[in-house]
Amino acid sequence: MPATHVVLLRGINLGGKNKVPMAPLRGHLADLGCTDVATLIASGNIVLTPPEGAQIDDLVRTLIADHFSLDIPVVSRTAADFRASAERHPFAHLESDPRFLAVGYMSTTPTDENIASLDPARSPGDSFRVDGREVYVHYANGTHKSKLTNAWFERRLATAITFRNSRTVRRVAEML
């Protein structure tokens, strides 16, 4: 039996752009053979068990293109990998407010060269650490003032990334 997965969609339902309604999405996923499909808030957090042998990122990306006419980056993790990422935030001891802590989930593991291209002084006060296919961030002054943007990480690390704040990460982990 396939493992339960967390599927994260980047950049949907923001300011009326890239609309992907969750109820129809859950229905389409079920139609493709996914089971135990659940979503958390409308920002693209999905828990499901894919059909045997499915390439889940490709399956979801194609479904969204076919049914919603959108090309949306999709990143997934097994339930075990997602739980581990939720538990190992290296900056959790620095911050009690989960809005200031985030995890960036990458579609591929960046090269050492790409990781070395990240400037730790880019956004004074903020901190980050790359660990495998995740990048952990502490936004000391909040995300709105930070220069550690999704676009900057994607350019430097040469991979698709979608960020979730620690509150959302914890809530998705609880769904598992």
What are the structural domains of the chain? 5-79 (3.30.70.1280), 81-175 (3.30.70)
Listed as ranges, residues in the chain with pLDDT below 70 are: 1
The model carries a pTM of 0.92
Q: Quick one: pLDDT at residue 78? A: 94
Burial class (CB in 10 A: 0-12, 13-18, 19+), 135: buried
Q: Quick one: pLDDT at residue 1? A: 65
d(CA 74, CA 86) in angstroms, rounded, equals: 19
Q: Quick one: pLDDT at residue 59? A: 92
Instruction: Give the other-Cβ count within 10 Å of 83's Cβ.
Output: 17
Q: Quick one: pLDDT at residue 164? A: 93
d(CA 5, CA 120) in angstroms, rounded, equals: 32
d(CA 128, CA 139) in angstroms, rounded, equals: 9
Q: Quick one: pLDDT at residue 41? A: 82
Which three-class secondary structure string do you get for the chain?
CCCCEEEEECCCCECCECCCCHHHHHHHHHHCCCEEEEEECCCCEEEEECCCCCCHHHHHHHHHHHHHCCCCCEEEEEHHHHHHHHHCCCCHHHCCCHHHEEEEEECCCCCHHHHHCCCCCCCCCCEEEEECCEEEEECCCCHHHCCCCHHHHHHHHCCCEEEEEHHHHHHHHHHC
